[in-house]
A and B are shown apart, each in its own frame.
Chain A
């Protein structure tokens, strides 16, 4: 007998599986998958202004820094200002989806491609953002490679205010609506990578970025 059959056989024995309860079980399973019941969620003012504010506050609580600009074309200059202020290099890798922005006009040398170990700054967009926890939802694709938000020491993300949703549940619904099936990797990011493994003292920059900076586009 294969291990699969052996294991499932013992699970079935434990559940006293028979024709009748299997039918009931299948029905319950189908209902769970169809209904997608949501659990209790913290109450939230979901007006666009309140969502933006909550997202900003929660992001900052995660040690993320936040800048707000009027339109997407302002983002390169805002990023250049941040890099200058932080004394960081002016060259970066960006997700190919951001190739059209005028990076050189802002004095930046930006290469739209996947990330390499030597990249010090990674610029991304995001699929959407979650106000409840101050979280970015990243969906991988050829245009949005996952490693750009992971390998560089600095991760900068452009977030469109209209894509800030109240809850993670809303993010799933948006993904179902716009993408159909899930991409290979959905990464929810809430601030710089961190560890508390030595004396439970939180240190930023474990294996991923040391800093996460958001440029929120209001338009």
Chain B
């Protein structure tokens, strides 16, 4: 997917000015938050389950090479084939080759963020193969001129009912429907034909189980089951970090993933797929391929951002993020929005291609609090800021300003003088109204709010004066 993260600030401004989007965001805000809060209540030991989940994920990523080899061996034993892709281009090449080998004309897809990373749909189309997104949200986006998703589990959350009604009326040439069940039925009827006619199904993978060589898929709509049951070929595209040890671990993770994501105690469907169609079986794919994708992940192993590999893609961090809630997911400019995206985008798409993202957070730590695998997201964002500074990637004025400020703050006399002058200057600037409507030193502040006037003298001045007036005994 094209990286537009360099334009975060301009994107964010545009999103704030988009009245329709702001209405949709306001409508969506809080729904996931409320549902999650309700759902975690019926676990007696949510915190203990979180700790167990952290331990499971750490167990694997701390020895990722060994677990990958183990998973690969088990998957091969079940009759699957295992391929490895260094980057998005290799994903596209491998999947296109598989499709050609099996004479595939149409691919039905269950939601895969890695396929978004790789820009797989465009590659398939270029090879004359039709990709059909079948998750309702992804389908809405695909027929809306391939709009990118704005959320990792609710890709069309930025769209309203009215937006979808207009879109389906235009694209399907049917009378405009205004009820959500009717629109859902319309998509179902269009997609059912695709499920039955596609020769290849493509899915992501929530987890890869090393014990059994299986892929686990967490879905609600049933499209994940369709694309892995009906076509003769099934391709799983998944990141190398997705391995977990055992089926028991899968059960533990399933207690927190749907709760953290949609606020469900379990997703409607949870499928564990192992190998190909057995002899005499009525359904299931004859060929199963795993494409294990690096795309930046291998280089994260063992480094400052190692903990990020624990991520189970629930979306809780963005659901609870004040910045995400205010501007939506598109402003972030790549596949992953919100706090996890502001860490992953610099790591996977280049720190120099996403200068704003690590700074696009108030560090309020709501994301860290809700993360089911306790990724210290604010710490990782701060670490990225440090890397940027080390590499001289921040604007020169900012770097000089910060350095100068820190230099002065180490010199109390100079600092006191500066603060005293500053307090008087700001007081003067505010004048009678007791507020500053345009702050020349920090005009960003006053774009959308006033800057309150200071008292006019610093605490240290007033304190010294008071001490002189009433000397202590």
Binding site for B on A (CB under 8 A): 2-4, 6-8, 10-17, 22, 25-26, 28-29, 32-33, 36-43, 58, 62, 113-115, 117, 133, 135, 140-142, 145-147, 150, 167-169, 172, 181-201, 203, 205-209
Contact = CB atoms under 8 A, between A and B. Distances in A.
A140 B277 CA distance: 9
A188 B277 CA distance: 18
B193 to A, nearest CB: 9
B343 interface: no
Contact of A187 (B63, B212, B270): B270
B73 to A, nearest CB: 12
Given A145-B283, A182-B212, A206-B188, A188 B271 contact: yes
Given A6-B86, A42-B43, A203-B184, A189 B251 contact: no
The 5 closest A-B pairs by CB, nearest first: A208-B222, A114-B282, A39-B252, A14-B302, A14-B301
Nearest to B42: A42
A195 to B, nearest CB: 5
B386 interface: no
Residue from B44, B68, B69, B281 whose CB has the most chain A CB atoms within 10 Å: B281
Interface string B28-52: 1001100000000011110011001
B13 interface: no
B362 to A, nearest CB: 25
Contacts of A8: 65, 68-69
Contacts of A28: 59, 63
Contact of B268 (A17, A32, A146, A193): A193
B66 interface: yes
Interface string B282-299: 111000000010100011
10 contacts: A169-B247, A181-B212, A183-B278, A188-B272, A193-B222, A198-B159, A199-B161, A205-B184, A205-B188, A206-B136
Interface of B: 27-28, 31-32, 42-45, 48-49, 52-53, 56, 59, 62-70, 84-86, 90, 134-137, 140, 154-157, 159-161, 164, 180-181, 183-185, 188, 191-192, 195-196, 210-212, 214, 220-223, 225-226, 228-230, 240, 245-252, 254-255, 262, 265-284, 292, 294, 298-303, 306
Nearest to A145: B282
A40 B44 contact: yes
